[in-house]
Chains A and B, each alone.
Chain A
C-alpha cells in the first residue's frame, strides 16, 4: 500500500464510499478482511488499511480517495512504496469474483 491519510483529515467521510476495495474506515472503527475483524488503525481520523489498498490499480486511473478529498490529505506513503505488479495482484486477490482486463491508462495511475 502506498496511500495514507494524514492528520490533516477533517473526518468528512468523502473518501470512504469511493474506495473500490473498502480499504478506508472511520477513526475508531474496526476493519474487516477475509472474514476477520481487526482493531482500528487510527482512533482520531479516517485511515486506509495497507493490506486492502491497491492505489486503485485495476479500477481507476487515479486514487479515488485522493480525487474526492477536499483537503488533499490522501497522499502517497513514502514508507510503503509498492509496484504496479504487486498492487494489481492484490486487487485480483481482493476481488476473486472479477475478471480484470490487462492494465491500461484508465485502470492504473502508473500508466497515465
Chain B
C-alpha cells in the first residue's frame, strides 16, 4: 500500500491529498454544485495554497464565491455580501471561461445573488431568496 494511501486509511490525511490538481478541482466543482460550500472551499484551498501567479487569483475567486454562499446559508448577510463581492471582482478577469469552467453565466447569476444579499443586508429587501438563483460551475465542452 502506498504511503499516502496508508495515511488516508488511517484517517491521518484528507483523501483529496492523493488527487491530482485537476481531480481536486473537479471534486471542488462537484461540491459547489451540490451546495457543500464549506467542503468546496476546503478542497479548492488546497489548490490555492500551492499555486502562484495569475491562476492563484482564479482559485481564490472560486473560494470567495463558495464562502459567500456558505455565509448566505447561515444568515450572515454581511459576510456573504463581502465574499460574493470579492469573488465576482477576482473572477471578472477570467471571463468567459477559465480552467475549463464557464464563467460568464456563473458570474451573472452570482451577481444576481449578490444584489439580493446587498439589499437584504441593508434591510431593504422583503423578497425571499430563491435558491434556484445559486449558480453552478459548468465545465465547457
Contacts of B41 in A (CB 8 A): 10, 12, 70-71
Residues of A within 8 A of B35 (CB): none
Residue of A nearest to B82 (CB): A8
Which label, helix, strand, loop or mixed, suits the secondary structure of the A interface?
loop
Contact B63 A71 (CB under 8 A): yes
Binary CB contact string for chain B from 79 to 120 against chain A (1 if under 8 A, 0 otherwise):
100110010000000000000000000000000000000000
How far is A12 from B79 in the complex, measured between Cα atoms in Å? Answer: 15
**Are B67 and A71 neighbours in the complex by a CB distance under 8 Å?**
yes
**B contacts with A: majority SS:** helix
| Contact status B60-A70, CB under 8 Å | yes
B78 contacts across to A, CB distance below 8 A: 7
How far in angstroms is the closest Cβ of chain A from B28?
A: 12
Choose one: B42, B44, B49, B67; the contact of A8 (CB below 8 Å).
B67
| Contact-residue bracket for chain B | 10 to 19
Q: Are B79 and A70 in contact (CB under 8 A)?
A: no
Chain A residues within 8 Å of B42, by CB: 12
**Bound CA–CA A9/B83 (angstroms):** 10
Query: When chains A and B are docked, how far (Å) is the Cα of A27 from the Cα of B35?
Result: 25
Task: Digitize A45-82: 1 where CB-to-B-CB distance is under 8 Å, 0 elsewhere.
Answer: 00000000000000000000000101110000000000
Instruction: Digitize B36-76: 1 where CB-to-A-CB distance is under 8 Å, 0 elsewhere.
Output: 00100110110011000000000010011001001100001
In whole angstroms, what is the CA distance A12 to B60 when docked? Answer: 14
Looking at the assembled complex, report how far the CB atom of A112 sits from the nearest CB atom of chain B, in whole angstroms: 18
> Which of A8, A9, A71 has most chain B Cβ within 10 Å?
A71
Q: How far is the CB of A97 from chain B (nearest CB, A)?
A: 31
- In the complex the two chains form, is B45's CB within 8 Å of A12's CB? yes
Q: Which residue of B lies closest to A44 (CB)?
A: B76
| A7-B76, A8-B79, A8-B82 known; A14+B45 contact, CB < 8 A | yes
**Interfacial residues, chain A to chain B (CB-CB below 8 A):** 6-10, 12, 14, 68, 70-72
B residues touching A (Cβ–Cβ < 8 Å)?
Answer: 38, 41-42, 44-45, 48-49, 60, 63-64, 67, 70-71, 76, 78-79, 82-83, 86
